[in-house]
Structure 1
Amino acid sequence: MFMAVALLYGVLDRKRSPLSPALRSLVTVRVSQINWCRFCVDVNSATLAKRTGSMEKVLALADWRHSDLYDDVEAAALEYAEAMTCSDRQVTDELVARLSKHFDDDALVELTGLIAFQNMSSKFNSALDVPAQGFCQLPPPGQ
């Protein structure tokens, strides 16, 4: 099972992806936060910090709607990730219209696959209570 999951992740995180590496990491961290996966937040935050060159976006991500750190493309992708992940939300025609301003069909399919994959991965790891491994040293909540 691990090999199949690793293979799928490799397809989604390849160099020729229509999504930028930083955007892919941003989305995976947000989905991991929503699903309370300590391991996924840890490892994906470390990757996001490396890909963006700082911890700024990592630290502001839980409250991204109130931050000016995220551009329109990132905001649309994050809203889509939340709509796909949170069971009390839906992907609306309005949201898809906003997404289509930034993503062609191939990129939107890839974004959808990435969000779905991260939901599976983070829910799996969260259910098994896989702990953070210290890849990304985040300050305690409230600091």
Structure 2
Amino acid sequence: MPFIEPKPIAEYPWYLRLFFRNQVRRYGQVLSPSWLWGRLPGHFLGLLILLGLFQRRAFPIDTALRSALSVRVAQINGCAFCVDLNAYNLLKAAGAADKAAAVEKWRTSPLFSECERAALAYAETMTDTAKRVTASEIDALRPHFDDDGITALTAWIAFQNFSAKFNAALGAEDAGLCRLPPSRSAADG
């Protein structure tokens, strides 16, 4: 349940109402974080521009890996909305629901490559505020990513932590896009 309800639609700027209409066409509804971010229209536009830059073809981290990382970050942060949306994106990118359902068990699942495992381990370290990234974790990424790729990976994980923490704190609800089995607690992960 969201802690802050949407304002009446007429109170959002016209350009956000157009964005909301596009979300309804794409997802069948306005996604709950959009109502929340819409209360800060300039910030929301900046967030959307940054998201668009991350989603460009030239970005060195592909959609499937970005989505898997996002699901794991969301699971750790307790953001049901982010798990839902990013599992949906992973399902679309990878073409199979089993990978989206297995993200929490990436260490033991045969569905993940060594590259994905290194990136997921890095994402978990970045997301756990009690841990710090070490040189050995960066070294584990080097067989799979160049320095620009590691920087891009770091930026994406940081962006997802920002987003998941915002959404979880304000109770953004999932949209029912991709139902996964219930997640274990972050402490179990």
Structure 2 partner of 1:87:
129
State how far apart, in whole Å, the 2-side matches of 1:104 and 1:36 are: 31
Identity of aligned residues (%): 46
Residue 48 of structure 1 aligns with an amino acid whose one-letter code is L
Q: How far did 1:137 drift?
A: 2.2
1:113 pairs with 2:155: yes
For 1:28 and 1:77, locate their aligned partners in 2 and report how far apart those are by CA, in whole Å. 11
1:65 alignment partner, SS class: coil
User: How much does 1:7 deviate?
Assistant: 0.9
- Within the candidate set 78, 99, 103, 1:61 is matched to 103
**Residue 41 (structure 1) aligns with:** 83
**Runs (5+) with no aligned partner, structure 1:** none
TM-score (norm. length: structure 1): 0.94
Partner of 1:25: 67
**Could you say which residue in structure 2 is the equivalent of 1:6?**
48
Q: Could you say if the C-alpha distance between residues 141 and 123 of structure 1 is closer, same or farther in structure 2, counting changes exceeding 3 Å?
A: closer
> Which has the bigger relative contact order, CA under 8 A and spacing at least 6?
1
Instruction: Point out the more displaced range, 98-107 or 131-140.
Output: 131-140
Q: Could you say what secondary structure the match of 2:171 adopts?
A: coil
Separation in 2 of the partners of 1:121 and 1:140?
Answer: 21
- Residue 124 of structure 1 is matched in structure 2 by 166
Deviation at 1:9, TM superposition (A): 0.9
Superimposed CA distance per residue, residues 103-139 of structure 1 (whole angstroms, 9 cap, x where no aligned partner): 0111111100000000000000000000101111224
| TM-score, L = length of structure 2 | 0.72
* Secondary structure, counterpart of 2:84 in structure 1: helix
Moved over 3 A (4+): 139-142
How many equivalent residue pairs?
A: 142
Question: CA separation of 1:8/1:124 partners in 2, compared to 1, >3 Å: closer, same or farther?
Answer: same
Give the CA deviation at 1:141: 5.5
CA apart distance, 1:87:
1.6
- Calculate the aligned-residue CA RMSD, in Å: 1.3
Separation in 2, partners of 1:124, 1:83: 19
Structure 2: stretches of 5+ with no match in the other structure: 1-42, 185-189
Q: What letter corresponds to residue 177 of structure 2 in structure 1?
A: F
Q: Secondary structure at the match of 2:179?
A: coil
CA deviation map 1:10-65 (0-9, x unaligned) = 11121111112111111111111110001111111100011000011111111211
Q: Select the structure of larger CA radius of gyration.
A: 2
